[in-house]
Amino acid sequence: MTYQSGPTYPRSGGMAPIGYARPQLDLADVISLLWREKWLMLIVFVLISAIGIALASTQQKTYVAGARLSILLGQEYVFRPTVGDAGGGSAPKQEQIVQSEVEVIKSAQVAERVIRKIGLDQVFGPEEIRVSQGPDTPERRIAFGVDQFQRNFTADATANTTVIKLSYRAKDPAVAAKVLNAMIDEYLSYRREVLFEDLTGSLKVQRSEFETRLQEVEGEVTAFLGANGVADFEAERQALQGLLSSARADLLNVQSRLREAEGRYASSDRSFRNEPREVRLSFETDTSRRRLELTTQLAELQTRYTDQSQPVQDMRRRIEALDAVLQSEQGRAAGTTKTGANPVRDTLAADRARNAAEVEALTQREAILEAQVAQLQARAVQLSQAKPMFDDLMRRKAILEEQVRQFSTREASSQAQNEISRTSNENIRVIERATVPTRGKSWKRELAMLAIFFAGITALAAGGIRAFARSNFPTAASVGRTLGLPVLAVVAR
């Protein structure tokens, strides 16, 4: 049945036509339209499904070999400054180390090494390596092989661990395991080349340069010591300071003693000048000799007589008479007086001569010590003026000696580290090497289901486009809904 759509007018009445009405369809009308295009949709569905299933059937199984590595902190990640010690010993975080190792594993250089080691034809089939553009040269085939290799290879770091999971996908299970194990070996070799830089040669050159400069500075030090007439500058300077201090102390001591000696000389000289040259040595008289004799006799009488006896009393009166004579002016003047050199003046003369000699000796010693102090002080000033230059030379020498020591130590350490790195990877642990996988995976079922789904969608789309492209109404009810008029009759044709 065909229902032609004509001009419509407003249901409220009106004289001018508005235009052709758009069909108003419900779900039953849509199903009816699609049902009319069932053969077209069936043909499209069958054709696309057949093509998709045919393509899915060509897919082969792929085998995935897996391995695991453990990454620990190693010497290659510890910062060791070439000059000085600033920042030495610092290292990145464990997550950063693991991620760095992942990037090394996934690098194109490692993939190229594996391909060259095993062989491009052994890793890939002829259909997998096709040079689409440019000349088909071995190097371009290798480049395409590296690109395909990186698509088949995966390396992922496990969160919050030091483990890296490796996998390689291939059509041959033995090839997958072989390639992944070769990948591990080449990675361990390549990382040593990347992370362990051989600095032995450059360190040796630097050490030689510092040794040459050190020899030049040592030559300057030797020339400096010769110019200043010393063998050991600091020892000479300290000894000179000690001698200067001792000489100054001796000079002060001599000056103090000289002042004392001069004082003693002045005192003895005054006393010497004040003493007379001659003095009375003794004075003798006859009366005094007689009194001495009477005194002796009195002592003899007292041994025989008492003090009240007449002989004793007479002797005492005679002695008293002589004493009165001796005490009189005439008695003192009568007698013999002896004179001679003054012994005090002689003693003072000896003291004066001794003090004068001491003053002369101390004066000469003072002059000698003053000359020594002046000489030592001039030498000390000379060495003090030369000390800044000596300190600069010794500072340069110490710096160069330290640099030579550091570079010698690092050269030996670098050489030992290179020897160790050639034979071991102390911080890389191969937890699990790749084994030949026994189970493969194919995408045939998934691709077939996807093809069928796509065929159904395409068939519906084709049927819908064809159905809605028609200009007639599918049912009488759709005519009534569209025109707003009741359908009185249906004519079949």
| Range of weakest confidence among 13-22, 189-198, 376-385 | 13-22
Q: How much is the average pLDDT of 305-326?
A: 78
pLDDT of residue 1: 42
Task: List Cα–Cα distances, 268 to 41, 343, 349, in angstroms.
Answer: 156, 14, 8
pLDDT of residue 10: 40
Round to whole Å and give the CA distance between 61 and 172.
Answer: 9
pLDDT at 7 over 50: no
pLDDT in tens, 470-482: 666 666 566 656 6
Round to whole Å and give the CA distance between 150 and 144.
Answer: 10
Q: How much is the average pLDDT of 235-239?
A: 83
Please state the φ and ψ torsions of residue 39, each to the nearest 5 degrees.
Answer: -70, -40
pLDDT of residue 253: 92
Tokens read off for 371: 């000359």
Q: Which domains does the chain have, with CATH numbers?
A: 7-57+442-483 (no CATH), 62-197 (3.30.1890), 241-401 (no CATH)
Question: How many whole angstroms from its chain centre is CA 8?
Answer: 93
pLDDT in tens, 33-76: 777 778 888 888 889 888 887 776 666 677 888 898 888 776 66
| Range of weakest confidence among 28-32, 104-108, 458-462 | 28-32
- Our CA dihedral for 487, 488, 492, 493, rounded to 10 degrees, sits at -80
pLDDT of residue 101: 85
What percent of the chain is modeled with pLDDT above 90?
Answer: 3
94-105 vs 173-195: helix axis angle to the nearest 10? Answer: 120
> Which are the contacts of 415, defined by CB distance < 8 A and separation ≥ 6?
200
pLDDT of residue 4: 43
pLDDT of residue 18: 42
| Range of weakest confidence among 155-169, 177-191, 258-272, 293-307 | 293-307
pLDDT of residue 440: 66
pLDDT at 100 over 60: yes
pLDDT of residue 489: 57
Q: For residue 247, how many other CB atoms are within 10 A of its CB?
A: 20
Round to whole Å and give the CA distance between 369 and 363.
Answer: 10
| Range of weakest confidence among 40-49, 83-92, 242-251, 378-387 | 83-92
pLDDT of residue 172: 82
Q: How much is the average pLDDT of 239-264?
A: 88
pLDDT at 84 over 60: no
Amino acid, res. 286: D
pLDDT in tens, 181-226: 998 888 888 887 777 666 667 777 888 888 888 888 888 888 888 8
What percent of the chain is modeled with pLDDT above 70?
Answer: 71
pLDDT band at 14 (very low <50, low <70, confident <90, very high): very low
Q: Which residues pair with 8 in a beta bridge?
A: 19
Q: Which residue has the higher pLDDT, 345 or 221?
A: 221
> Which are the contacts of 179, defined by CB distance < 8 A and separation ≥ 6?
65, 114, 118, 123, 168, 170
> Which are the contacts of 246, defined by CB distance < 8 A and separation ≥ 6?
none
Q: Which residue has the higher pLDDT, 138 or 198?
A: 138
pLDDT of residue 170: 84
Q: Which residue has the higher pLDDT, 399 or 312?
A: 399
